[in-house]
Copies of this chain bind each other. A is one copy, B any other.
């Protein structure tokens, strides 16, 4: 079989650094494609493609404004990502404790690790 389609949900849309940048630029105000392209220092076609992905997963909206198309953030699609990652919040501090346990266990298993 082949690679699974990935640009079909918010998790994947947001996995692309430039798409994350676009979303951040759209906080606060809508912007035309060229402005985004300039800000990201990438070509206009590339920008349009990223915007298409973001559009398809519903993270941005477009509005016609004369010859420009103004893209605006629609952050609601990020909620699933937020919910998922929040489910791990309680484990961050815990992770430190577990790391200590882990290191301790390793040392017990290899008490001569420092003399190798």
Contacts and interface: CB of A to CB of B under 8 A. Distances in A.
A86 interface: yes
A57 B54 CA distance: 25
Copies in the complex: 2
Interface in A59-116: 61, 63-64, 72-76, 78-79, 81-82, 84-89, 91-92, 94-96, 98-99, 102, 105-106, 109
A12 B15 CA distance: 5
Interface string A25-65: 00100000000000000000000000000000000010110
A88 B84 contact: no
Interface of A: 4, 6, 11-12, 14-17, 20, 23-24, 27, 61, 63-64, 72-76, 78-79, 81-82, 84-89, 91-92, 94-96, 98-99, 102, 105-106, 109
